[in-house]
Structure 1
Amino acid sequence: MSATLDDKLLSKYYDEGCVIEVPGRAFPIEDIYTMEDAENHVDEAINKVLEIHASRVPGNILVFLTGQDEIDRAINEVTRKIDPPESALLLPLHGKLSEDDVKLVFMPMANNERRKIIFSTNVAETSITIDGIRYVIDSGMVKEVMWDSKRHIRVLKIGYTTQSSIKQRRGRAGRTSAGKCCHLYAYDTYQSLEVCSRAEILCIQPSIAVLKLKYLDIVDDIRKFDWLEPPSDNSLQETVKCLTWLGALDFKTGKLTNLGRNMAKLGLEPMLSVMILTGQRLDCLNHILALAGMLSVVQNIWWRNKDDQSKQLSDEIRASFIQDTDIGGDYIILLRIFLEWYALGDNKERRKVWCLKHMISWKSMKMANNVVRELAYQIDPTFKIHFT
């Protein structure tokens, strides 16, 4: 079912259920570890890329970093130092790229003498095969969503990934031929890492799960529910406190209120559910749904090239969405972006051209629009989206 699944945990949960392993086919991969962990994984990745390229041994290179900022910095540095410059094609791979930029990663090279060097986030770990990858350079790092209990928000934190993810990364080098995986950390560090990724419910506030359990009336005390991996008591207490403050749970009985039942039906983050239901009550649901759709893709809405001029242009375009209004802020920018894009109608080409002009991800806008339609249907199947 999955190469990263914790089969022992699942087997134990189902009373020592039988585990069947089906090994995949792969070419041999040589693992190379450092004596000590890299002090700066981006700098070490850059140096390793230049070292491999200077060896003149053929084969494309896949480098795993944590995000767009690291990828842009690495590409800038390698572009400046690589010799000769035309001997390699440097490409980014992350969630903020346009469709055309992603296609470049998978497009076969017309001239096999030119090496392709791809700098990627963990999106390249699974389910994709990039032809010609002979070297994988693994920073061992990942950017993950965690729950900040003090600020009651999700935050992104950088840290070491898991052994199962590292196995997936190294496997990219052995998909089409024998390869090498250069780990930018010591083997002892690898041995000390968690075997599998922690369940998402252990990393975030389990608000949606608690609402659903209450709605289905499965268990009165959520601490007694038979979780596969139970959240901490502190996490559950914080969740109940938050849902009570929002009005989803009755302060005295802990039962779902009418608002809580409607929130459970939506199945969204509690704050977002309250925003949508309040918008419905105040007769501004269309605009609230548009904002909800944009918030679902906010991390990937802007795309820009790695050069400083492109970044400056992107910032100027972003500011242009609030130039003629007295109201500012990110939410207003997101809302106005969606309204302008939506006003172009169902003409795909016009919308694509508009996205290109404003340095906005066409893929993210499509996803936001799908979210808007799905939410509208959940609230009322007869509801028609319109903006005035």
Structure 2
Amino acid sequence: MYKWKKNYQGNRHFQAQDTKSNFRLPQVFQCLPNARTELRDSSFSIFSRSYFVTSSVDSQPIGKINISSEKLDEVNEILRKLQPIADVNYESMENSLFKMNFLEKRTITMDQKMDFFHEKLEQKSDIDYELFLENNKRYEDPLFMKMYEKRKNLPSFQKRNQIVKMIQENQVVLISGETGCGKTTQVPQFLLDDYVSSYKGSACKIICTQPRRISAVSVAERVARERGEVLGISVGYQIRLERVLPRKYGSILFVTNGIVIRLMESDPSLNNISHLIIDEIHERDIHSDFLLTLVKQVITRRKDLKVILMSATLNEKRFKEYFDGCTHVEIKGFSHPVEEYYLEDVLERLNFTFAPSMARTDSIERNTMIFRHNVVPYVQDLRAENSYSEKVCRELLKPHSEEINLDLIHQLTMHICRNEGPGAILIFVTGYDDINRLFNLFYELPEEEYMIIALHSEIPMEDQKFVFEPSPSGVRKIILATNIAETSITIDDVVYVIDSGWAKIKVFDPKTNTENLQPRFISKANAIQRKGRAGRLMAGKCFHLYTRARFEAFYEYQRPEILRCRLESMMLQMKFLQLGKVKVFFNKMLDKPDAKIVEAACHLLNELGALDEEEALTPLGYYLAKLPIAPQLGKMLLLGVIFSCLEPILNIAVSLDYKSPFNLTLKSNSRIPQLDPKMAEFAENVKSDHLLLHKALHLYQTFDKATRSVFCKEYNINKTVMKMLKKMKVEFMENLFALELVTTTDLKHKDLNINSKNVELIKSIVCGGLYPNIMLACTLSGQPKTFFKTLNDTKVVLHKKSILSYDRFFTCPLLVFYIKMKTKMDMVFDATVCSPFPVIFFGTNLRTTKAMNEHCLVVNHKLRFSCDKNASSIVEQLRERLQHYITYRLTHPASMKSDVEDKFLKIVVDLLASRGS
């Protein structure tokens, strides 16, 4: 949470005083030498040709690979000394921790594990008595009693006995309650207090899931306060990278859904839990749907496990059918009345005129059709009834009146500030860009009168907590938020809500292998939740920036995430939990995903080498499932360990997994797009977005605290993102150490970074991890302009945030990327120019062809590299050996390398470090 004016000036364009800073980057950054550095071994070379692509990416060879005869002899000698490649036999592998755990994941199903493990919570009379006395003593505390009296006024408290009785008598209970009824904070306490007062406290261990990190933390803190405690006694929380655990017995733990799924890897029956509460199930995020499916299997064996499903707005019939007609308890909400206003009312108040718009925010056919068939007739009726002024009706008939309009939001906010009573204003927009632009509109407001705060999922937890603090007397709090503020977050002083009617939704298209992140209209359930944020302490007002007709056309509920997102990470978790064939498991879910999305996920995991032909985990897949990171980034990380360049690869991986620390700006006074001069200075000689991420993190951690602040301000780097990336690096080093892949948690240890200054090798490892995300820089004959195509011939554009988007020529036409999104067109946000060898060594379907008396190595049926016959044969053998070597290193993580292996690896490193220049 930010008070932006104070903490985020560095994200704006540099002020005059910033440009006068004396801070300069170190003159020599040894990890990233000049791009003109000579090849490590001139025996290898790749000669880039002029490249022309007219229709498909495989029309002609991309380049020629030459290996000297002396080097071929040396490679042949090494290959002869290596042991013959044997078929992988996991059973005959020498005994190790890896073997034990890996074979378990291949042979023992989740159902079998649930039969094996019978450890359960043990009731202990001495602990029961201690908890009983402790609970009684609370009632002598005046602060606790004050909170207790407030709790009694909540609607959920009126149904306390009914809720407890229902849960005692039924295994699965569905609780729906309107916003403000207190179900999230009270139900866990009802259960704990019932057990403690019945001398059964030691047998009570409650886990309550929340869809978001901030929800888990804020609810835990609120419940602890209500119990007159600090966190860590009977109440705690656990989210990724942060936790305050409660005692083992008689406790409530608030977590994100993913934490429970990870817990089930070691405890599939949840034997150490007495109650599992899954909150906000109406949101239908991928983790909650996955968890619901797992829980449905668990309760068939654990009849004593109590499962409570909770939500403010839900499709009751759907969930009751899924859980075989489970019991339902409804809690009527309590809040002060909230007046609702729609777009027509807002325009009447403000006399606002929509400026001409060049393009719709969302051009989906359904939205256009609804506008014509629902909104237009509605407005015509308003005109006929003379309900609103003629000007309002004219404005409503403009199609772009339904777009997100930040000027309208700004004017409405200022209208509320001038004409309405005190109270915080909560504004719902779609994302970080909207928040930043709104902040610019509010920037001139005096600090002594206004507190501007942002609420966004990527803002660090310690900063987000500011949103819950009341503003000083006479200061108006304005909260700029995404849909993160819809559920499980109670901001008591919010009186006014401005609902833009939009949220950003990510949709995966398996045909183009592209994620589409665009604003979409919310659902009726979302609108009700947003309205419910107002009126907690007094009568409130909600301003919907869409017409009543558009609201009636909203879907009842948002489309479940499982139907519109990538599935690779989830499928790896499924295989790790040994849940059987993926299609069979998906058929058990509340909504099963599209078969094409499932097929695309299986295909990618096969190409990565994470799953074999039988859909079983490979050794690589085992590690990828254990690492809390996307599979491609996990593979990159493992290759960084094997090739001893861990620090730069880890820096790149965490940045891609979380968020780039850069806030880039462009010069707006030039007809030709140019990189901001400060960014150009920072990016000098790097020529890779991925290496730039490493450079930023590496430098940041070499500076002291004072210098870091200057460094971040000077080069427009987000310091709070840097802090999160540092935490993630510590977490991953601990994970790698626990898996015995490294012998120390010291990321900078010399043995882990022997090749960390080899820039071309680092690029190759990035390529090896991110494959098959390859694109080619292409030109048409006679035209100087460069364009890009992916392996499936999709034309893409480099986003302006990529430093390579300003280059016009590339030493090699091969580029590797991670993030591809469809906005108005297919956009690639990050890229690195790579050489052919990582594609040849880590790509799929390598074969040799001969055309026009020239041998070619072909990867993925698309990428062709000319090569003489002897060299092509050697390269094929090296690739096969490398795949075997990587498998061996993963299956024998603690074993020492032999001298022959060292020489073999050096040859591979030399090849991977070769590049065209």
Structure 2 portions without partners, runs of 5+: 1-278, 281-310, 345-374, 376-395, 669-674, 754-917
**Mapped partners of 1:184, 1:330: distance in 2:** 39
Secondary structure, counterpart of 1:386 in structure 2: coil
Match of 2:642 among 281, 284, 296: 281
Aligned to 1:258: 619
Work out the CA distance in 2 between the residues paired with 1:317 and 1:24.
53
Aligned to 1:377, which of 719, 734, 739?
Answer: 734
Query: Mind listing any 5+ residue stretches in structure 1 that lack a counterpart?
Result: 309-313
Deviations 1:359-380 (A, max 9, x none): 4334322322222222222222
- 1:147 touches 1:205 (CA, 8 Å); kept in 2? yes
Between the aligned partners of 1:268 and 1:373, the Cα distance in structure 2 is 14
Distance 1:377 1:330 in 2: 27
Query: 2:188 is matched with which residue?
Result: none
Report the residue type matching 1:18 in the other structure.
Answer: T
Name the residue aligned to 1:18. Answer: 327
What is the TM-score with the length of structure 2 in the denominator? Answer: 0.37
Matches within 5 A, 1:217-236: 217-223=578-584, 225=586, 226-236=588-598
**Contact 1:67-1:143 within 8 A present in 2 as well:** yes
* 1:1-388 superposed matches below 5 A: 1-2=279-280, 3=311, 6=314, 8=316, 9-35=318-344, 38-42=401-405, 43-77=407-441, 89=450, 91-95=452-456, 108-112=470-474, 115-130=476-491, 132-223=493-584, 225=586, 226-251=588-613, 253-298=614-659, 301-302=661-662, 315-323=676-684, 326-344=685-703, 355=712, 358-381=715-738, 382-387=743-748
User: How far off its partner does 1:278 sit?
Assistant: 1.8
Cα distance in 1 between the residues matched to 2:647 and 2:543: 51
How far apart are the structure 1 equivalents of 2:479 and 2:664?
17
Aligned residues: 372
C-alpha change, 1:359 and 1:127, in structure 2 (3 Å) is farther
Report the 3-state secondary structure (helix = DSSP H, G, I; strand = E; otherwise coil) of the residue aligned with 1:249.
Answer: coil
Match of 2:790 in 1: none
Contact 1:27 1:178 in 2 (8 A): yes
Residues 256 and 116 (structure 1), Cα distance of their counterparts in 2 relative to 1, 3 Å cut: closer
Inter-CA distance 104–277: structure 2 relative to 1 (3 Å threshold): closer
Query: Are 1:75 and 1:90, in contact at CA under 8 Å, matched by a contact in 2?
Result: no
> Does structure 2 retain, via aligned residues, the 8 Å contact 1:59–1:132?
yes
> How many Å separate the matches in 1 of 2:476 and 2:484?
21
Change (3 A) 1:196 1:230: same
C-alpha separation between the residues in 2 aligned to 1:280 and 1:86?
Answer: 49
TM-score, with structure 1 as normaliser: 0.81
8 A Cα contact 1:318 1:333, kept in partner: no
Q: Deviations over 1:95-129 (max 9, x none)?
A: 366889867755544452x5443333223323444
Three-state SS of the structure 2 residue aligned to 1:147 is strand
* Percentage of identical aligned residues: 31
The alpha-carbon distance between structure 1 residues 171 and 375, as it changes in their structure 2 partners (threshold 3 A), is same
Does the CA-based 8 Å contact 2:455-2:467 persist in structure 1? no
Aligned equivalent of 2:90? none
- Take 1:86 and 1:258, find their aligned partners in 2: how far apart are those partners? 57
Say whether the 8 Å CA contact 2:522–2:554 is kept in structure 1. Answer: yes
- Answer whether contact 1:163 1:195 (CA < 8 A) is retained: yes
Tell me the SS of whatever aligns to 2:566: coil
Q: Deviations over 1:340-374 (max 9, x none)?
A: 22234xx7676566545554334322322222222
* 1:133 to partner: Cα distance: 2.7
Structure 2 Cα separation of the partners of residues 104 and 224 of structure 1? 42
Do 1:88 and 1:117's aligned partners in 2 also have CA atoms closer than 8 Å? no
Distance in structure 2 (CA, Å) of the matches to 1:375 and 1:100: 21
Name the aligned partner's letter for residue 68 of structure 1.
Y
The offset of 1:338, in angstroms, is: 1.3
Go from structure 1 to structure 2 and tell me whether the alpha carbon gap of 1:148 and 1:370 turns closer, same or farther (over 3 Å shift). farther
Asked if the contact 2:664–2:676 (Cα under 8 Å) also holds between the matched residues in 1, the reply is no
- Secondary structure of the residue that 2:532 maps to in structure 1? helix
SS at match of 1:333: helix
Distance in 1, matches of 2:653 and 2:459, equals 22
Query: 1:178: Cα distance to partner?
Result: 0.9
For residues 129 and 19 of structure 1, what CA distance do their matches in structure 2 show? 24
Q: Partners in 1 of 2:526 and 2:735 — Cα distance? A: 35
Distance 1:57 1:148 in 2: 47
**3-state SS, counterpart of residue 136 of structure 1:** strand
Take 2:733 and 2:460, find their aligned partners in 1: how far apart are those partners? 27
Calculate the aligned-residue CA RMSD, in Å.
Answer: 3.5
Distance of 1:10 and 1:90 partners within structure 2: 41
Q: 1:20 to 1:271 in 2, by over 3 A?
A: same
The answer on whether the counterparts of 1:90 and 1:116 sit within 8 Å (CA) in structure 2 is: yes
CA distance in 1 between partners of 2:451 and 2:663 (Å): 17
In the alignment, the residues of structure 2 paired with residue 181 and residue 142 of structure 1 have an alpha-carbon distance, to the nearest angstrom, of 17
Pick which of 288-297 and 3-12 moved more: 3-12
What amino acid does structure 1 have at the position aligned with 2:696?
A: I
By how many angstroms is 1:233 displaced? Answer: 0.9
Q: Deviations along 1:241-292, whole A, 9 cap, x unmatched?
A: 22122222334x3433332232222253221122112222222223222222
**Distance in 1, Cα, partners of 2:559 & 2:731:** 29
Q: Secondary structure of the residue that 1:331 maps to in structure 2?
A: helix
Q: What SS does the aligned partner of 1:298 have?
A: coil
Q: Which has the larger radius of gyration?
A: 2
Q: Distance in 2 between matches of 1:370 and 1:100?
A: 13
Deviation larger for 198-207 or 144-153:
144-153
Distance 1:241 1:133, change over 3 A: same
Contact (CA 8 Å) 1:286, 1:385: kept in 2 or not?
no
Task: Give the superposition deviation at 1:232.
Answer: 1.0
Give the distance between the partners of 2:711 and 2:416, measured in 1 at CA: 41
AA in 2 matched with 1:366: K
Q: Which is worse superposed, 231-240 or 5-14?
A: 5-14
CA shift, 1:18, in A, is 1.6
| SS of structure 2 residue aligned to 1:384 | coil
Q: Whole-Å Cα distance in 2 between the matches of residues 353 and 123 of structure 1?
A: 32
